Amino acid sequence: MPTTPPSRRTMITALVLIPLIAAAVLCLFAWPAARTAPRDVPIGLAGTPAATAGLQQKLDRQGSAFEVHRYADDAAARAAIKHRDVYGAVVVTAQGPHLLTASAASPVVAQLLQKAAAELAPAGSTAIPVADVVSPPAADPRGTALTSSILPLAMAGMAAGVIVTLFRLRGIRAAAVLVAASALVGLAAAAVTDSWLGVFAGSWWAEAGVLGLAVLSIGALVAGLAALLGTRGIGIGALLTMLVGNAFSGAGSAPQLLPEPAGMIGQLLPPGAAATLLRSVAYFDSSAALVPALTLGAWAVLGLAGVMVGGMRARRAAATASGTPAQTPQLEPVG
């Protein structure tokens, strides 16, 4: 059959939409990178009030760059860093000040604190001693492997949701495939990152669980939206996860370094929550893991619910089209 050539209006629409979409995607990624700066970054200040008074005044002059938490001594500050309450701490003792950092929490913030500590050092002092309380494994001293893992996880979740949709799996079958496939991805990813590369240092099974949950949250979201909205759902899922979620995740820096509300939005979406949870499990003995775990779990549950509801609607539509009322299958008696 002869095809109808596109109209002039369609061509003009395409010419306008393509650069607009490209500009929007560029803004999503370039805006947070160009506006990276400390915003209420939680840090510690340890020592007696008299010894730390001068440093407190200097930190106050930084405006809203840092959120200062007070601790009694070095041990309390180290415990707060290991529990992910703060990114680092300046400790003032009789021998002078020294800086505690956690490059595993964010290499970018660790460097930022070292620079800030140099500016806070007493007059006549060129530098203050620095101790890295929690650092990544020797196989990945800069912690770049974790940052690089987030996009592949998002792509795996996206692929899982698209495959389930294209294969027309519905209801319980779709949910079962998503859960099983995500679990297998988690096991394979932990085998690569922990067992082979040695870039993670936490519990192997906990890491596998986090990796699998990250894939499931994205895959279920995409499949659920597709089951409810059709092919438009895949586009919405890709927008939330592959574009907004990755751009606002803060995986390469820290959520507190992104302009608002990008940092907050990123932690509410699967990629950002996955990066935070994986960092806690891989380096910090699962400290501060509850909130990102609940976030990923909520997306997974909502996505699977959408898959189930979409499957029920499809069965009802098929039954209506065939003129047969939808019935729950009954078990046949044996014998």
Q: Same domain, yes or no, for 60 and 200?
A: no
> Is 209 part of a structural domain of the chain?
yes
For the segment 8-29, what is each residue's pLDDT rounded down to a tens digit? 888 888 888 999 988 988 898 9
- Given 132, 162, 185, which residue is the final one in a domain? 132
Of all residues in the chain, the percent with pLDDT exceeding 90 is: 74
Confidence band of 116 (pLDDT split at 50, 70, 90): confident
In which band, very low, low, confident or very high, does the pLDDT at 200 lie, cut at 50, 70 and 90?
A: very high
Tally Cβ neighbours within 10 Å of residue 268: 15
Collect all residues with Cβ–Cβ distance below 8 Å to 267 and sequence separation of at least 6.
Answer: 250, 255, 273, 276, 292, 295
Indicate if 307 and 286 belong to the same structural domain: yes
Does 34 reside within a domain? no
Domain boundary among 98, 132, 166: 132
Same domain, 248 and 285: yes
Give me the amino acid identity at 287.
Answer: S
Q: What is the pLDDT of residue 219?
A: 97
At 95 the pLDDT is: 84
Per-residue pLDDT of 249-297, as tens digits, reads 999 999 999 999 999 999 999 999 999 999 999 999 999 999 999 999 9
First to last CA, the chain: 57
Contacting residues for 114 by C-beta, under 8 A, at least 6 apart: 99, 101, 130
Q: Is pLDDT larger for residue 1 or for residue 31?
A: 31
CB 219 within 8 A of CB 181: yes
Beta strands in 86-140 (DSSP E): 88-93, 96-101, 130-132
Side chain identity, residue 283: Y
Q: Which residue has the tokens 């597709």?
A: 226
- Shared domain for 202 and 296, answered yes or no, is yes
In a domain, residue 12? The reply is no
335 in any annotated domain:
no
**Each residue's pLDDT tens digit, 35-81:** 999 999 999 999 999 888 888 888 888 888 999 999 999 999 999 99
Q: Are residues 307 and 206 located together in one domain of the fold?
A: yes
One domain, residues 84 and 154:
no
Same domain, 110 and 46: yes
Say if residue 128 is in the same domain as residue 56. Answer: yes
Predicted pLDDT of residue 331: 42
Q: How confident is the model at residue 124 (pLDDT cuts 50, 70, 90)?
A: low
DSSP element (H, E) containing 72? none
**pLDDT tens digit string along 160-196?**
999 999 999 999 999 999 999 999 999 999 999 999 9
Between 200 and 126, whose confidence is greater?
A: 200
Out of 132, 154, 174, a domain closes at 132
**Are 157 and 208 contained in the same domain?**
yes
Domain co-membership, 192 together with 281: yes
Average pLDDT over residues 70-95: 95
17 in any annotated domain? no
Strand-strand pairing, 41-46 and 88-93: parallel
Tally of structural domains, the chain: 2
Domain shared by 94 and 195, yes or no: no
Q: What single-letter DSSP state applies at residue 98?
A: E
pLDDT at position 139 over 90 = yes
**Whether the predicted pLDDT of 137 surpasses 50:** yes
31 within a domain of the structure (yes/no)? no
CB 177 within 8 A of CB 313: no
Domain assignment of residue 271, given as a range: 144-322
Residue 163, Cβ neighbours under 10 Å: how many?
16
